[in-house]
C-alpha cells in the first residue's frame, strides 16, 4: 500500500502537464507473492479487502484481486509444492470517482463511492516454479449481471437469502441462522454449498454426514454446470489381510450355515468382528433430473444414469473444503448441495 502511494506521488510530481492521458500511463510495480499466501483462507481475502472492478483501490488485497480477475482460483488449499510464488505486474493509476462491485469467479468485490489515494490494475501475472522457469497466467473475466432472470434456470449463481426472525427475548439471545437458497440446474430450490452443511454436527453421530448416507440418504452436489452423487454402497470387512464386501443382511439359511460351520463368535478374533469399513461411491449424473423423476427412477440413481468416477471409497478419501470437495485426490468446486432420501 505504501509503495503504491509513494510511486503515485513521485509520478504525479514528475509530470509538468497532468493530462488524463498521461495520468493513465502510470508507473508499474512488480510484486512477488509466496505460494502459501495464495489461498482463499488468506485473512484479507476472507475479510473482503477488495474494492472495485478491473481497476481497484490501492488498499485492495492483491491476492483477492487476482482471484477476482481469475488469474487464480479461490481455493482453501495452497498451490502445489512445485510452485514457488506468483509474480504480478500492476500499473498504478489515478483515483477513480467511484469503484463498482461485481461477483466474479465466486469472489464478490465491494463498492466505494469516492476518490481515494490511487488505484491499480493487473497488467500481467505468472507462476514462478521452484526448479526455475515461469508459466504465464490468463485472466478469466467472468461476472454475473446485477439484474438476474427470475424464472429461467441459469448456469450461473442466483441466490435468495432468508433470515429467521427472533420473536421473543429468549430467541433474541440465540444466534440468528442465515440460509442461502440457490436454484439448481433444474430450477428447483437447493441450499447454497457451505462446509457447515456437510460438517459433522458436534458429537451426535446420527447427524454425521457419513451416518446419514449409511441410513439411506443420498447427497447430491452441483457445480454451475454439473451434478454429482455421493452415496453409501456397503461395508467391507477386513480380516487376516483379506477383505469381503457385504451389501445386505444374510438370509436365515445363510446365517444358520455360517454359525454351524464356524467357531462361536466368542471364540473368534475380536479384530474380525470390529474391522468393518463403510464404502461410498462418487458419480457424475449424466443428466440433471427433477427430484420427482429421480425418486421415480430410484435413489441412489441406477448406474445407467451415472458416470461412476470413484467407487469403494473410504470416508477418509472424501475431504470437504470451503469451496468444494476433494475425492481421491481430485478437487471438485461446488455451488449447491441437497440431501435426498428414497421415501
Judgement on whether residues 307 and 199 belong to the same structural domain of the protein:
yes
Judgement on whether residues 117 and 201 belong to the same structural domain of the protein:
no
pLDDT at 13: 84
Judgement on whether residues 130 and 185 belong to the same structural domain of the protein:
no
pLDDT at 261: 39
Picking from 230, 160, 154, the residue whose alpha carbon sits closest to that of residue 186 is: 154
* Integer Cα distance of 252 and 200 in angstroms: 36
pLDDT at 125: 93
Establish if 226 belongs to a structural domain.
Answer: yes
| Structural domain boundaries enclosing 64 | 2-136
Judgement on whether residues 88 and 188 belong to the same structural domain of the protein:
no
Establish if 154 belongs to a structural domain.
Answer: no
Establish if 152 belongs to a structural domain.
Answer: no
Judgement on whether residues 97 and 188 belong to the same structural domain of the protein:
no
Judgement on whether residues 18 and 100 belong to the same structural domain of the protein:
yes
State the pTM of this model.
0.45
> What is the DSSP code (8-state) at residue 329?
T
Judgement on whether residues 85 and 198 belong to the same structural domain of the protein:
no
Name the domain count of the chain: 2
Judgement on whether residues 181 and 125 belong to the same structural domain of the protein:
no
The list of the chain residues with pLDDT below 50 reads 145-159, 161, 163-167, 169-177, 248-273
Establish if 112 belongs to a structural domain.
Answer: yes
- Kindly state the cell numbers that stand for 100: 463498482
Establish if 37 belongs to a structural domain.
Answer: yes
- Listed in order, strand segments (DSSP E) in the chain are 28-34, 52-53, 55-57, 83-93, 103-104, 107-108, 119-129, 134-136, 159-163, 178-183, 189-192, 218-222, 227-239, 242-246, 276-285, 306-313, 318-320, 324-327, 330-333, 336-340
Establish if 150 belongs to a structural domain.
Answer: no
pLDDT at 142: 63
pLDDT at 178: 55
Judgement on whether residues 126 and 264 belong to the same structural domain of the protein:
no
pLDDT at 244: 54
Judgement on whether residues 100 and 207 belong to the same structural domain of the protein:
no
> Do residues 299 and 342 make contact, with C-beta atoms less than 8 angstroms apart?
yes
Judgement on whether residues 235 and 298 belong to the same structural domain of the protein:
yes
pLDDT at 272: 45
Judgement on whether residues 200 and 289 belong to the same structural domain of the protein:
yes
Establish if 288 belongs to a structural domain.
Answer: yes
Establish if 147 belongs to a structural domain.
Answer: no
> What is the DSSP code (8-state) at residue 203?
T
SS3 205: helix
Q: Which residues pair with 232 in a beta bridge?
A: 280
* Integer Cα distance of 288 and 22 in angstroms: 53
- Kindly state the cell numbers that stand for 49: 479487502
Amino acid at each position: 500500500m505504501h509503495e503504491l502511494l509513494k510511486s503515485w506521488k513521485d509520478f504525479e510530481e514528475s509530470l509538468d502537464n497532468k493530462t488524463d492521458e498521461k495520468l493513465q500511463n502510470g508507473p508499474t510495480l512488480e510484486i512477488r507473492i509466496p505460494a502459501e499466501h495464495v489461498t482463499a483462507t488468506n485473512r484479507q481475502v476472507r475479510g473482503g479487502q477488495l474494492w472495485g472492478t478491473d481497476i481497484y483501490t490501492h488498499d485492495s488485497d492483491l491476492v483477492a484481486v487476482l482471484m477476482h480477475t481469475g488469474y487464480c482460483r479461490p481455493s482453501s488449499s495452497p498451490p502445489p509444492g512445485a510452485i514457488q510464488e506468483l509474480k504480478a505486474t500492476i500499473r498504478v493509476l489515478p483515483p477513480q470517482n467511484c469503484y463498482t462491485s461485481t461477483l466474479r469467479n465466486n469472489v464478490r468485490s465491494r463498492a466505494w463511492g469516492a476518490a481515494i489515494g490511487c488505484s491499480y490494475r493487473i497488467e500481467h501475472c505468472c507462476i514462478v516454479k521452484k526448479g526455475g522457469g515461469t508459466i504465464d497466467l490468463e485472466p478469466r473475466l467472468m461476472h454475473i449481471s446485477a439484474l438476474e432472470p427470475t424464472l429461467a434456470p441459469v448456469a450461473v449463481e442466483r441466490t435468495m437469502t432468508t433470515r429467521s426472525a427472533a420473536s421473543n427475548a429468549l430467541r433474541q439471545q440465540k444466534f440468528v441462522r442465515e440460509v442461502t437458497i440457490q436454484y439448481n440446474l433444474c430450477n428447483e430450490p437447493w441450499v447454497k454449498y457451505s462446509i457447515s452443511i456437510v460438517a459433522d454436527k458436534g458429537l451426535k453421530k446420527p447427524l454425521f454426514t457419513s451416518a446419514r448416507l449409511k441410513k439411506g440418504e443420498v447427497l447430491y452436489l452441483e457445480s454451475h454446470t454439473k451434478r454429482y452423487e455421493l452415496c453409501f454402497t456397503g461395508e467391507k470387512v477386513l480380516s487376516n489381510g483379506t477383505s469381503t464386501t457385504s451389501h445386505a443382511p444374510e438370509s436365515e439359511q445363510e446365517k444358520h450355515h455360517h454359525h454351524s460351520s464356524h467357531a462361536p463368535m466368542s471364540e473368534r478374533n475380536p479384530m474380525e468382528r470390529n474391522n468393518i469399513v463403510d464404502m461410498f461411491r462418487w458419480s457424475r449424473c449424466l443428466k440433471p433430473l427433477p427430484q420427482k423423476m429421480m425418486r421415480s427412477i430410484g435413489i441412489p440413481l441406477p448406474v445407467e444414469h451415472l458416470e461412476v468416477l470413484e467407487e469403494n471409497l473410504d470416508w477418509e478419501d472424501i475431504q470437504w473444503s470451503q469451496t468444494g470437495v476433494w475425492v481421491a485426490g481430485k478437487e471438485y468446486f461446488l455451488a449447491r448441495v441437497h440431501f435426498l432420501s428414497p421415501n
